[in-house]
Homo-oligomer: A and B are copies of this chain.
Amino acid sequence: MTQARKISVDPSAVADRLHSAAIHLLRRVRRQDVATSLGPAQLSALSVLVFGGTMGLGELAAAEQVRPPTMSRIVAALERQKLIERTSDAGDARRIRLRATPKGQKLLHKGRRLRIAYLAGHFQKLSAQELRALGEAAEILENTLRNWS
């Protein structure tokens, strides 16, 4: 299938192809998220709380790369569904402490399983070598994103 051929090391060409692939990949995966009846922004924010633990609204907004008002609305929606809860911060009354409820954790893990299983299902046609290449790419991207500047 993917026989040896010349792979460009031109950063622009790589950027272009990766960008396009990322867009189309996420469009496909997004449809699976319907099963959790949570929008993508809510799901992603919940994920940060589940894996990152308790944090304030500003931190969560920064982690999700959105503005505070946007996160405020997302948090309100998650709270209405009792997937997260807020407590007040002892010591700084402006702050709120957000954390996932057990219900939120369960839902997240379920949605994650569905979404990942869907993607993983399509990845199963790949060879171990190809999977390794994708894993390496994920790692490189994670590093790049971490030191984004």
| Residues of A participating in the B interface, judged by any CB pair closer than 8 Å | 1-2, 7-29, 44, 64-65, 112, 115-117, 119-126, 128, 130-145, 147-149
Give CA–CA (A47, B24) in the complex, Å: 13
CB nearest to A24 among chain B residues: B145
Task: Choose one: B11, B13, B22, B116; the contact of A25 (CB below 8 Å).
Answer: B22
Could you say how many copies of this chain the assembly holds?
A: 2
Q: Which residues of B contact A147 (CB under 8 A)?
A: 125
Given contacts A23-B44, A28-B65, contact A14 B138 (CB under 8 A): yes
Task: Choose one: B22, B120, B125, B136; the contact of A15 (CB below 8 Å).
Answer: B120
Task: Choose one: B116, B126, B142; the contact of A140 (CB below 8 Å).
Answer: B126
Q: Which residues of B contact A24 (CB under 8 A)?
A: 65, 145
